[in-house]
Amino acid sequence: MNDDLILSTDTSEALISRPQMNQDIGLGRGAYVSTYGCQMNVNDTERMNTLLEMANFTIVATPQEASLIIINACSIREKPVHKVYSEVGSYRKLKDKNPLLKIGVGGCVGQQEKENLIKTQPMIDFVFGTDNIDTLPQIIAEVYSENKKVVNAKFEHRAPYHIETLVRNPGVSTFVNITKGCDNFCSFCVVPFTRGREKSRPMSHILMDVRNMVKRGAKEVTLLGQNVNSYKSEGEADFADLLEKVSKETDIERIRYTTSHPKDFNEKLMHVMAQNQHKICEYVHLPFQSGSSRILDRMNRGYTREEYISKIQTMKKLIPNLVLSSDIIVGFPGETEEDFLQTISLVEELQFETIYAFMYSPRPLTKAAKFEDQVEESVKNERLNRLFDAHEKMAFALVKKYEGQTLQVLVEKKNEQGKLYGRSTQNKSVHFLGSESLIGQTVPVKITQAFPNNMRGELVQ
Ligand code: SAH
Ligand code: SF4
Ligand code: F3S
């Protein structure tokens, strides 16, 4: 395949190392990566697929066509290890038919479970951690040529985070990692254990990647990290500085970022957003997790309900058309009915158009898993349903305001129904009729029907 298409960066830039490759290993072999989890894992899968193609594997669409299957698994909630074993089990017939089929597990579950996975399920041939993706070609070479089991799940604590973005086809909207890991240790969360210590990429590398993505056709970039607001480049530039540079010094048309942490979301960043609205979208995903300050304290989130509200009020003053979404956990240990009602009231008070809500799930190694006042499953379930009901009632009414409005939609693709699909600056998914030649362009679309997660509209000619 064409090297220029895969390798996005100008390698004259010092310090970016390129993974070592044995180009024979994939010849005649199909590879299939199955992906769970957050955008970080989706982006890691893209990196894996790129490395596999560079080693001459053919990326195939189904496990049936593959000689190599990788499960890039997520560990954030509910029985992740069980899910991996059940997926591996479903490949038994394929492995019986083709003894040369190799199965690997990566992602946050690979990092968390390491060799335990192979001990419990001998069909698994290799396991690799979240810091070891670039060693995938060597791992696979060992697995095939020496026919042995390989585990590589060591954190590279001392290595700087100097990667290049590897994306096969950036498309219209693409992702660039800016940090990895997390040092916040929210008491419910496994990520600090599965992604390791937080590290930031140098700003010059990120700018170079964004410029390269633009050259390859990208119109929108999402800057990715577990807590983008704690980004620190060499020379002390912070996230607001980075965002401003990406806006001013690259030709990318739209900029998004995820995920933000309320404790680190500062006024400097709000000002940069307000002053660069022609490029930085007026949409922020800012997880508050709980509306009760007592629970927030037990979650180790580093802010109170009042502080969160006050940040949102300042933000809305500076960016009046700001659209917000949030993650919420219900049934955290010790959550009373009163605490839960405070979560519902915060959703209503701040008028979130979109929420992502989850039942608390105890995770290995985390502080909250050891709390004694765990909430019963039936109560968590009932609260989750009540939260969704309350939000739905509000959100349907809230998004009606978009009907009749004309939104600027960046067209990403044609959907299965033959309509164009794109997202507005407010991150609304919009479907409308139009010519495929509009893919990659930002066009005005008048909204005819608005639902909380989806909208229909008509192209304004
Ligand atoms: N870094 C992001 C969150 C990444 S995890 C942030 O701080 O916002 C994505 C979401 O999963 C979290 O926001 C939280 O709502 C949810 N989550 C994380 N751990 C969880 C757990 N143990 N049980 C239930 N939900 C959890
Ligand atoms: Fe997990 Fe908290 Fe880090 Fe987000 S900020 S990844 S919730 S520890
Ligand atoms: Fe899951 Fe790991 Fe992302 S646990 S949510 S894949 S950081």
Closest among 104, 108, 259, 114 to 195, alpha carbons compared: 108
Whether 9 shows a pLDDT value over 50: the answer reads no
Residue 384: strand pairing partners? none
C-beta of residue 50 within 8 angstroms of C-beta of residue 168: yes
Q: In 3-state terms, what secondary structure has residue 32? A: strand
Whether 2 shows a pLDDT value over 50: the answer reads no
The pLDDT tens digits of the residues spanning 49-68 come to 999 999 999 999 999 999 99
Residue 182 beta carbon below 6 angstroms from any ligand 2 atom? yes
Q: Whose CA is nearest to atom 1 of ligand 3?
A: 74
Residue 254: strand pairing partners? 220
pLDDT given at position 1:
41
Whether 11 shows a pLDDT value over 90: the answer reads no
- DSSP single-letter state for residue 456: E
Whether 25 shows a pLDDT value over 90: the answer reads no
pLDDT given at position 17:
63
Whether 4 shows a pLDDT value over 80: the answer reads no
pLDDT given at position 318:
97
Closest among 308, 78, 347 to 188, alpha carbons compared: 78
Whether 346 shows a pLDDT value over 50: the answer reads yes
User: C-alpha distances in angstroms, 338 versus 90, 288, 331, 344, 368?
Assistant: 44, 17, 12, 10, 20
Banded pLDDT at 15 (limits 50, 70, 90): low
Between CA 446 and CA 347 the distance in angstroms is: 28
Quick one: which H or E segment has residue 409? strand 406-414
Quick one: which H or E segment has residue 408? strand 406-414
Lowest mean pLDDT among 6-20, 64-78, 167-181, 424-438: 6-20
Q: What is the mean pLDDT of residues 227-254?
A: 96
Banded pLDDT at 242 (limits 50, 70, 90): very high
Residues of the chain with CATH 2.40.50.140: 403-459
pLDDT given at position 18:
66
What is 403-459's CATH number, 3.40.50.1100, 3.40.50.10240, 2.40.50.140, 3.30.200.20?
Answer: 2.40.50.140
Residue 226 beta carbon below 6 angstroms from any ligand 1 atom? yes
Q: How many CB atoms lie within 10 A of CB 245?
A: 18
Residue 386: strand pairing partners? none
Banded pLDDT at 86 (limits 50, 70, 90): very high
Please report the atom of ligand 2 found closest to the CA of residue 195: 6
The pLDDT tens digits of the residues spanning 369-383 come to 999 999 999 999 999
pTM as predicted? 0.94
Between CA 172 and CA 438 the distance in angstroms is: 11
Please provide the average confidence, as pLDDT, over all residues in the chain: 94
Between CA 282 and CA 273 the distance in angstroms is: 8
Could you tell me the distance, in angstroms and rounded to a whole number, from the CA of residue 206 to the centre of ligand 1?
26
Whether 3 shows a pLDDT value over 80: the answer reads no
C-beta of residue 252 within 8 angstroms of C-beta of residue 220: yes
- Strand-pair category, 254-258 with 220-224: parallel
Residues of the chain with CATH 3.80.30.20: 173-400
Looking at domain 173-400, its CATH architecture is Alpha-Beta Horseshoe (3.80)
Residue 201 beta carbon below 6 angstroms from any ligand 3 atom? no
pLDDT given at position 6:
42
Question: What is the chain's length?
Answer: 461
pLDDT given at position 133:
96
Q: Whose CA is nearest to atom 3 of ligand 3?
A: 38
Whether 172 shows a pLDDT value over 60: the answer reads yes
Q: Give the position of tokens 């608390």.
A: 360
Residues of the chain with CATH 3.40.50.2300: 19-152
The pLDDT tens digits of the residues spanning 108-126 come to 999 999 999 999 999 999 9
Q: What CATH superfamily is the domain 19-152?
A: Response regulator (3.40.50.2300)
Could you tell me the distance, in angstroms and rounded to a whole number, from the CA of residue 152 to the centre of ligand 3?
18
Residue 194 beta carbon below 6 angstroms from any ligand 2 atom? no
